[in-house]
A and B are shown apart, each in its own frame.
Chain A
Amino acid sequence: MSTPLPLAEQFQYGLDAPICLTWELTYACNLACVHCLSSSGRRDPRELSTAECKAVIDELERMQVFYVNIGGGEPTVRSDFWELVDYATAHHVGVKFSTNGVRITPEVAARLAASDYVDMQISLDGATEAVNDAVRGPGSYQTAMRAMANLAAAGFRGFKLSVVVTRHNAGQLDEFKAIADRFGAQLRLTRLRPSGRGADVWDELHPTAAQQRELYDWLVAHGERVLTGDSFFHLAAYGDALPGLNLCGAGRMVCLIDPVGDVYACPFAIHDSFRAGNVRGEGGFTGVWRTSELFADLRQPQTGGACTSCSAFDACRGGCMAAKFFTGLPLDGPDPECVKGHGAAALAAVDLELVPKPSLDHSRPASRRAGPVPVTIGARPPDRACEESPLAGLRL
């Protein structure tokens, strides 16, 4: 049997269609998680209509995209959410969706349990209420627990419990596993990215070097029983690769469609620099995937830059493009969480003024973290000392 190139190298040059893609259906969300990678909160008025979404699904069916990872925002708050899920599965496009659990009632759970083509994940970022709610907001732990209890009671086996690993929950991996086991779910751990609002909290929330090492050992010990969505491939530089392809699929095997139809290289790269086009354009999604210049660039052999001489480069491939971009590191340099420590050194040299900011922000006004409020202080002195009238000095 001939194998001309290892699969990983084949994938570097991209596929004619994504294997799967992430589709954020709405920026609207009932929560305001501090690390939200899409800076969600408010619905965007330009959101794709039901008909436009169905046209995208028709294209995905023709391209034989196996499944879509639907997220948001909180996708279930779209009034046509279940209609779109049914439409996708009827058109042979499998659905996995991420939810905070707010709409997973016993009735919905029963309906989900009956479908072979729908998978879902409940997000939880702390194995205890205190740790979770500090990141995801008050009440979100109870919401997720109630949703999982409903799913378990409805007989939905093997849904996913999805956890973003942070400095505060990295010590709770066994507890997360116990929660997943209790509800007949499978644990999925993913990496905190400095994307969206995550950029604001990454410094204080990303796992320490020691925690990364423990995480890696824990993942190796648990093998394929714990999913990672390939998100920790930068840890492969510790030694053995983790289960999965261990490579960045951005624009090659995966991509993101955002609520207004913009197509980005990956879900963690919502920024003009990684925007390949829009599904509303003439060629639709297929045209963007096959002809965008950005994706063509990403499918060129990538240079390792400063990493090329590192003994671990073949394992980690320089890590995550989005993590580098949003921490101000060069894309051909080390990952900010490089296990060899090269990222920490590179970060120290970054000019914070030049770090790219997310291009979009749908946060609700109050959900940005409290911090200094920029004000313009007028150069004009007060009209009079102790003038109490709020209209003092107002000129109409």
Chain B
Amino acid sequence: MPAQVSIRPERFGALLYHFGTRRLSFLKSPELLKVVQVLADFPTARAACTDAGVSAAELPAYRAALATLAASEMIRERKPS
């Protein structure tokens, strides 16, 4: 998650705000918030989902949600260090 993105947990999930693009996004469930919070700790998004307790059947929905976040620059691929 870029430093310019601020995350605010809410009852329904979370609000995300990108200070660079000045866009607001929503995480529509607490589970998705958990995934986003641990993304950086895992080598792949799938591993982060598994850690957050996402079942195999739910993976496509999470893949789509993460792709949407990536498209709006709320999350991005980590730079090789």
Interface set of A (CB-CB < 8 Å, partner B): 1-5, 7, 10, 15-17, 19, 64, 66-67, 92, 94, 96, 116-117, 119
Contact = CB atoms under 8 A, between A and B. Distances in A.
B24 A66 contact: yes
B17 to A, nearest CB: 4
Interface of B: 4, 6, 8, 10-12, 15, 17, 19-20, 22, 24, 26, 28-29, 31-32, 58, 61-62, 65
Nearest to A186: B22
B6 A64 contact: yes
A7 B8 CA distance: 15
A17 B10 CA distance: 10
B32 A1 contact: yes
15 contacts: A1-B29, A1-B61, A2-B31, A3-B28, A3-B29, A5-B12, A16-B10, A19-B24, A64-B8, A66-B15, A67-B19, A67-B22, A92-B6, A116-B4, A119-B22
Contact of B17 (A3, A4, A16, A67): A67
A16 B8 CA distance: 11
A202 to B, nearest CB: 30
B12 A10 contact: yes
A7 B15 contact: no
A7 B6 contact: no
Given A7-B26, A7-B28, A92-B6, A1 B19 contact: no
B1 to A, nearest CB: 15
B4 to A, nearest CB: 7
Contacts of B20: 116
A1 B12 contact: no
Given A19-B15, A19-B24, A94-B19, A66 B8 contact: yes
Contact of B12 (A7, A19, A94): A7
> Ordered nearest first, which 7 A-B pairs have the shortest CB separation?
A66-B17, A64-B8, A10-B12, A1-B61, A3-B28, A1-B29, A94-B19
Nearest to A17: B8
Nearest to A117: B19
A2 B6 contact: no
